[in-house]
A = this chain, B = another copy of it.
Amino acid sequence: MERSNHADKPCLMQGDIALLTDFYELTMMQGYFKYRHNPRVVFEMFFRKSPFGGGFSVFAGLEDLLKGLVGLKFREDDIDFLSKQKIFQTDFLDYLSSFRFSGDIYAMDEGALVFPNEPLIRVQAPLIQAQLIESFLLNTINFQTLIATKAARVYLASGEGVILEFGLRRAHGVNGAIAAARAAYIGGVAGTSNTLAGKLYDIPVKGTMAHSWIMAFGSELEAFEKYAEIYPDGCILLIDTYDTLSSGLENAIRVGKELQKKGYGNFGIRLDSGDLEYLSKKVRKRFDEEGLEKAKISASNELDECIIHQLVTQGAPIDLWGVGTNLVTAKGDPSLAGVYKLKAKEVNGRFVPVIKVSNNPEKVTNPGIKQVYRFCNNNGSPVADLLALDNEEIKPGEPYRFYHPMYPYRFFDIQHYDRIDPLLSLKMKSGKIVCDLPDLKSIQKNMKNNLKHLDDTFKRIINPHVYKVSLSKTLKELKFRMIEEYRKEYM
């Protein structure tokens, strides 16, 4: 794992993270402060459903979260703003002035494949602190995990091909674009058109020309020639401004052959409209007839994983995919509904598990402080994940029984496995980052490696196999005992 060389890179809006919180966190904080009710607590962040109907998700956003927390403080003008709301008292505002986050954070590694109902992040901190960071934590992790997951789906659909992220103009605001570029890179895209994201996160930036370039010159051929003269290496011509096959393609071939004569091989075209299968096949045929076998075909225009999957399946000879809007806005599922729930609180010096019961069994939380254990077979492929209490010893060699999180009478046993990986590790201790922050390239490499080991049945774009996330015997017993106690009290 390489150490990031961007440790001193300014976190976006770092100074303002303190107020990036839902207002009710602050009203509750003042309540806890006033009643001196500030036990140490444990919150876990998890989601209940993989987005896009997919079989896996890709965890992302951790570095931005950790850096935001390190810099978190209320500035004078933040305090002024709160003071003007007329519901915060001076002693509480004074307390906020010296507020720092001093909690511990356990989390998955960025690029890890994650599944519903398992904790991705565990925050252990005094209640007031843990409450404040909820909104920022969810904002960061929900969005980046969503986009990394979408990108991984696009990457898989293309046959692990070359994807460029082109979504800046349709993304949700400035940071919606930048965070999307970062997450998409984690999820497997090869580069971005977003120059600022490239600079901030060291992502390869790509792009050549728009229709306006062609229209700015006297003719399409002139525009192509002018472009090839300045950029003979990496000359990708957009051929659909006037007529793709009769005009654009033939002009591009003329320019491509000239470049080839001069020894430049990195030449190609982009299709941005029309039927991409029909056109790419026509283009490939003409290129090959003209001795331009190495010329590359790239395609864009409202692509998503389903369209790409179809085109690949039908043999469209497309080498490079530009994916914009539908990637950065997460078409089909524009939000990951990650939640942040109280799982334990300190009473008389020790942690006591907490449960939230709901009439909807899916919304009953798994209580207590937990670790996620991934059981892998001898190919390194994940078989199932086991949630166990933090103080249980889950050790290789033993057989384990995996209990369904909702139906205690459903279980299966795993006796033979090759490896058990605990997935949550300590990332922040007493408010300080205590883990290596790998650079994005390493994260992407790990993500691709994780994907390679995931069984194909979980990677189907539509209707994939459901990966099992189960409870240990001890956790199952705790959960259902707590539900019983709750029923006696409230129902």
Write the residues of chain A forming the contact surface with B, with a CB cutoff of 8 angstroms.
Answer: 12-13, 16, 19-28, 30-32, 34-35, 37, 41, 43, 77-78, 81-82, 85, 87, 127, 131, 134-135, 138-140, 142-144, 166, 168-180, 193-196, 198-199, 205-213, 215-217, 226-227, 230-231, 234, 241-243, 246-247, 273-274, 325, 328-331, 334-338, 341-342, 345, 354, 356-360, 363, 490-491
**Contact of A170 with B142 in the complex, beta carbons under 8 Å:** yes
Q: Cβ of A338: which chain B residues have Cβ within 8 Å of it?
A: 169
Q: Cβ of A22: which chain B residues have Cβ within 8 Å of it?
A: 166, 168-169, 193-195, 207
In the complex, what distance in Å separates the CA atom of A78 from the CA atom of B200? 10
Q: Which 9 A-B pairs have the closest CB atoms?
A: A24-B207, A23-B207, A175-B175, A172-B172, A176-B176, A172-B176, A138-B169, A173-B179, A329-B334
Write the nearest CB–CB distance from A338 to chain B, whole angstroms. 8
Name which residue of chain B comes closest to A68, CB basis.
B174
Write the nearest CB–CB distance from A196 to chain B, whole angstroms. 4
Write the nearest CB–CB distance from A38 to chain B, whole angstroms. 10
**Contact of B166 with A143 in the complex, beta carbons under 8 Å:** no
- Please tell me which one of the listed residues B12, B26, B329 contacts residue A172 in the complex, with CB atoms under 8 A apart: B329
Write the nearest CB–CB distance from A251 to chain B, whole angstroms. 11
Q: Cβ of A173: which chain B residues have Cβ within 8 Å of it?
A: 139-140, 143-144, 172-173, 175-176, 178-180
Q: Cβ of A208: which chain B residues have Cβ within 8 Å of it?
A: 24, 27
Name which residue of chain B comes closest to A217, CB basis.
B37
In the complex, what distance in Å separates the CA atom of A140 from the CA atom of B176? 11
Name which residue of chain B comes closest to A205, CB basis.
B23
**Contact of A325 with B329 in the complex, beta carbons under 8 Å:** no
